[in-house]
């Protein structure tokens, strides 16, 4: 009994800071974009607007949940729950410090990619169950986009695994004690970051949610807390990919501690927001062309080059 209570406490100690981090990620995004556009951003609720995320959560909590009359109601309500659950599930194998991981499995990187690839199912069933053309097109776009960029991300990560010789995320961090992998693999680092933007449906690759043609995409029919669950899932995926970027290419918590690790994650998150404020949205054919005709050959070429260098010189 005490064993299960201990596991439950460890899960809560991981989830509560994560959910608070997701809440303040929305505030960081609004503040950074406001600064880039010479606006103030949220500054009324609490000192410097620090309580704005909690005000937004309270507003969504008390709003009425509207169900479309033509929707498949069971699947319609299940879709945001699936999306949120899968976005949080990946954190089970994500180390945030030396020995600070819920499950330190030897195939941690494979586990994270397996869970993240399942996230598309929540989006597909939300687009289909809404029985709306806009939502259905958004779901199809998101599925095609995530599948396209999963391939290039997988090939990019293979380069890191070839250098380290382990699938364990803690071992990947330990390998970077002398030099961050982002230095010798700088080009791959850039490819991974851009692919992460597409994987999380972030601008300039937010085609599944394109307001100009699809209104809001796959969650156009959602409101109140069902919409909030999609929102939390999306920003949870952003934090997950930012953390993974810091682990794979920026040395994780090395050379200092978890606080230094948090600063690296905040820097990557800032880059996510910066790209949103600075670049216009791609057309969908440009997005697919970039994934299949540019990123896939480049990432495959880097696998051949890195493996050749390792075999020849190591």
The number of residues in the chain equals 314
Nearest to 257 by CA among 37, 143, 147, 97: 97
Burial degree of 5 (CB within 10 A; 0-12, 13-18, 19+): exposed
Give the domain ranges of the chain: 68-313
The residues, ordered by sequence, that sit 6+ positions from 224 with a Cβ below 8 Å of its Cβ are 60, 61, 63, 64, 65, 66
Tens digit of pLDDT for each residue in 57-103?
A: 888 888 888 787 777 888 888 888 888 888 888 888 888 877 777 77
Q: How far apart are alpha carbons 168 and 107 in whole angstroms?
A: 6
Res 124 pLDDT > 70: yes
Question: Residue 211: pLDDT above 70?
Answer: no
| pLDDT recorded at residue 212 | 65
Q: What is the pLDDT of residue 18?
A: 87
Contact 182, 159 (CB under 8 A): no
Mean pLDDT computed over 137-147: 83
Residue-level pLDDT at 230: 84
Q: Report the C-alpha gap between 201 and 208 in whole angstroms.
A: 7
Give residue 12's pLDDT.
Answer: 83
CA angle 251, 253, 259 (to 5 degrees): 140
Given a cut of 70, whether residue 238 has pLDDT beyond it is yes
Q: How many CA atoms lie within 13 A of 50 on its CB side?
A: 3
Helix ranges (DSSP H) in 37-132:
52-62, 73-89, 108-129
- Is the model's pLDDT at 185 over the cut of 70? yes
Question: Is 59 within 8 Å of 209 (Cβ atoms)?
Answer: no
As a whole number of angstroms, the distance between CA 226 and CA 216 comes to 14
Structure tokens at 198: 């597409």
Q: How far apart are CA 272 and CA 52, in angstroms?
A: 21
CA distance 221 to 252: 39
Residue 219: what pLDDT? 76
Q: Provide mean pLDDT across the span 252-280.
A: 86
| C-alpha dihedral sign at 147, 200, 193, 94 | negative
pLDDT given for residue 267 in this prediction:
92
The pLDDT, as a whole number, for residue 222 is 83
More confident position, 215 or 242: 242
The pLDDT of residue 213 is above 70? no
What's the pLDDT score for residue 214? 67
């Amino acid at each position: 009994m005490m064993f299960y209570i201990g596991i439950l406490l460890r899960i809560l100690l991981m989830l509560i800071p994560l959910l608070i981090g997701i809440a303040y990620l929305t505030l960081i995004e609004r503040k950074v974009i406001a600064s880039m556009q010479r606006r103030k951003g949220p500054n009324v609720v609490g000192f410097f607007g620090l309580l704005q995320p909690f005000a937004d959560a309270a507003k969504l909590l008390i709003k009425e949940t509207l169900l479309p009359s033509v929707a498949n109601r069971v699947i319609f309500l299940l879709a945001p729950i699936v999306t949120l659950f899968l976005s949080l599930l990946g954190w089970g194998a994500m180390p945030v410090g030396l020995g600070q991981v819920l499950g330190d499995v030897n195939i941690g990187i494979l586990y994270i990619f397996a869970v993240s690839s399942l996230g598309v199912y929540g989006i597909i069933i939300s687009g289909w169950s809404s029985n709306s053309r806009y939502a259905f097109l958004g779901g199809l776009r998101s599925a095609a986009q995530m599948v396209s960029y999963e391939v290039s991300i997988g090939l990019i990560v293979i380069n890191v695994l070839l250098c380290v010789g382990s699938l364990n995320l803690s071992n990947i961090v330990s390998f970077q004690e002398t030099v961050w992998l982002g230095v010798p693999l700088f080009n791959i680092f850039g490819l991974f970051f851009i692919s992460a933007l597409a994987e999380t449906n972030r601008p300039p690759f937010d085609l599944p949610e394109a307001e100009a043609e699809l209104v809001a995409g796959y969650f156009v029919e959602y409101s109140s807390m069902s919409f909030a669950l999609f929102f939390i899932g999306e920003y949870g995926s952003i934090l997950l990919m930012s953390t993974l970027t810091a682990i794979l290419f920026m040395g994780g918590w090395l050379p200092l501690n978890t606080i230094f690790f948090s600063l690296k994650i905040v820097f990557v998150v800032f880059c996510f927001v910066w790209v949103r404020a600075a670049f216009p949205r791609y057309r969908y054919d440009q997005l697919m062309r970039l994934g299949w005709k540019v990123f896939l050959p480049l990432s495959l070429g880097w696998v051949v080059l890195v493996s050749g260098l390792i075999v020849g010189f190591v």
